[in-house]
Amino acid sequence: MDDLRSASDAALVVAIGRWREDALAEVYRRHGGAAYALARRLLNDNHLAEEILQEVFLRLWNAPERFDADRGSLRAYLLAQTHGRSVDLLRSETSRRRREEREARESPNFGDDIEREVIDLTVSEKVKEVVAGLPKDERQAIELAYFGGHTYRQVAVMLEAPEGTVKSRIRSGLRRLRKDFAEAGLGVTWAES
């Protein structure tokens, strides 16, 4: 069996059973490409296909007696092993993904939600405090325009003040708010109209 290239697949398997690495190398040369192509096609991933190929040939090395020449060719045996391992891997990956998705849906991340709510409440309280510190005429104009959604003209009518005065109060109040927010550590920005 010195010339393994001319040996039958069955003879190569016998040589593998005698721990001849060169026999395994010859089997790999003959059938490795087909097994890899099958794994690659099933898994659509080069790295995973290489892992499956390594596992199939390692199984042949460790248990060559599992191959039965009476049941089919060595190529068919290796391709069946490759197919089975690839399908097992796909199933386990699909199962793992579904389990992770289910667990993610079933266990909301309360820590992040509570933390976000605490931050929002803290910021909200600070904003109320800063707005309450404005002079009354500026605070009223800003509340009506920004929180009430009214135009300058509508605010002027509601406060019975000239429109130019309302605009000045809002601008002045916004400048004061920007300064107070910065001092309070709130990164609030807006455009002045």
- Name the pTM for this structure: 0.54
What is the tens place of the pLDDT at every residue in 5-28?
999 999 999 999 999 999 999 999
Predicted local distance difference test score (pLDDT) of residue 132: 85
Contact status, residue 155 vs residue 145, Cβ threshold 8 Å: yes
What is the tens place of the pLDDT at every residue in 54-88?
999 999 999 999 999 999 999 999 999 999 999 99
Whole-number Å distance between alpha carbons of 180 and 3: 89
Predicted local distance difference test score (pLDDT) of residue 184: 73
Predicted local distance difference test score (pLDDT) of residue 102: 87
Whole-number Å distance between alpha carbons of 19 and 13: 10
Predicted local distance difference test score (pLDDT) of residue 112: 59
Predicted local distance difference test score (pLDDT) of residue 22: 96
**In CATH, which of 1.20.970.10, 1.10.1740.10, 1.10.10.60, 1.20.1250.20 is domain 4-106?**
1.10.1740.10
Q: Which residues contact 23 (CB under 8 A, 6 or more apart)?
A: 1, 4, 7, 12, 13, 15, 16
Domain boundaries, the chain: 4-106, 110-184
Q: Which fold has domain 110-184?
A: Arc Repressor Mutant, subunit A (1.10.10)
Using left for φ > 0, alpha for ψ between -120 and 50, and beta otherwise, residue 185 falls in: left
Given a cut of 60, is residue 1 above it in pLDDT?
no
Quick one: which of 193, 149, 150 has its CA closest to 175? Answer: 193
Given a cut of 90, is residue 42 above it in pLDDT?
yes
Predicted local distance difference test score (pLDDT) of residue 124: 78
What is the tens place of the pLDDT at every residue in 95-133?
998 998 888 777 765 555 777 777 777 777 877 887 888
